[in-house]
Amino acid sequence: MRTIHAKTVAAQVKQMCLDANYILGTDVVQALKRSLSEETSPAGKRVLEHLLDNARISQKGEYPLCQDTGFAVFFVEMGSRLQLKGGTIQDAIDEGVRQAYREGFLRKSIVLDPLRRNNSQDNTPAVVWLDMIPGDQLCIHMAPKGGGSENMSQIGMLTPSQGREGVIDFVVKMVSEAGGNPCPPIIVGVGIGGTFEKAAWLAKKSLMRPLDDRHDDPFYAELEQEMLRRINDLGIGPMGFGGRTTALDVHIEVYPCHIASLPVAVNIQCHSARHKSAYL
């Protein structure tokens, strides 16, 4: 049995939160550059240029990429032969988030009660999804999830007869209705199957994948590309100003489902697609 202290986890989480909010991933930067070279709309090109400038300024000066530094969302894989000392995984992650958002001057966006709206003042608690895996490793995947793009997310309980085309139509219609609100170019996370709540979990988790990381199953890899083409044909463009770059990528995750069901969830990520991973 391997032991790791909660303070070690908290320190790692703190750095992940800071890095995620200050440094746009190489995969996203490369996608924005590629989109800039392919964009035909003058307004769209100008927006993409500003987004790349913003990423450079943010990384150089250690400024947040966006004023909305998000809800801190974590997907954690914890080995069955790993013991955490000094607190629970939730305690350790919350402490890391607390330190990062206070000391890094990141906006505190979390209210402790959804109706009475009292701010927690430190961006906790984090959302933590925990999976137990074989071995003694701790894998932490983190994403600050902004409210604007999160608000555009939806879930649909389709019927099995709607099939592949029904799923595509649902996703494309949802993006069309969202328009420029989620700050495109977006990344579209799609969860297919499972149950009502599992589909939403799949959609959110899919956003942790690097851009251009196609699904392992060629059937769903092709579906990702078809959805991406259909979404970009909408002409919404960067920040809704028109153009061919509405989405940078579409990621799909699937899970077995009931014979009577076809759940489909869509979780949209804005152009500031921030995510970090650490292995302890």
Distance in Å from the first CA to the final CA of the chain: 14
pLDDT above 90 (res 80)? yes
Please indicate, yes or no, whether residues 84 and 16 belong to a single structural domain of this protein. yes
One-letter amino acid identity for 12? Q
In a domain, 89, yes or no: yes
192 lies in some domain: yes
Sign, CA dihedral 240-154-106-116, equals positive
pTM score of the predicted model? 0.95
pLDDT category at 62 given cuts 50, 70, 90 is confident
What pLDDT score was predicted for residue 71? Answer: 97
Total of domains in the chain: 2
Q: What is the separation of C-alpha 74 from the centre of its chain, rounded to a whole number of angstroms? A: 10
Dist CA 267 CA 31 (whole Å) = 19
> CA-to-CA distance for 26 and 163, rounded, in angstroms?
35
Regarding whether 175 and 128 lie in a shared domain, the answer is: no
How do residues 141-160 score in pLDDT, each as one tens digit? 999 999 999 999 999 999 99
Same domain flag for 178 and 116: no
Q: Are residues 166 and 260 in the same domain?
A: yes
pLDDT score of 61:
86
Domain span at 126:
2-20+65-145
25-41 pLDDT per residue, tens: 999 999 999 999 999 99
Do 164 and 110 belong together in one domain? no
Whether 36 is in a domain gets the answer no
37 part of a folded domain: no
Same domain, 209 and 130: no
Task: Calculate the alpha carbon distances from 254 to 201, 204, 219, 222, 223 in Å.
Answer: 10, 12, 11, 14, 12
My answer on whether 152 and 268 are in the same domain is yes
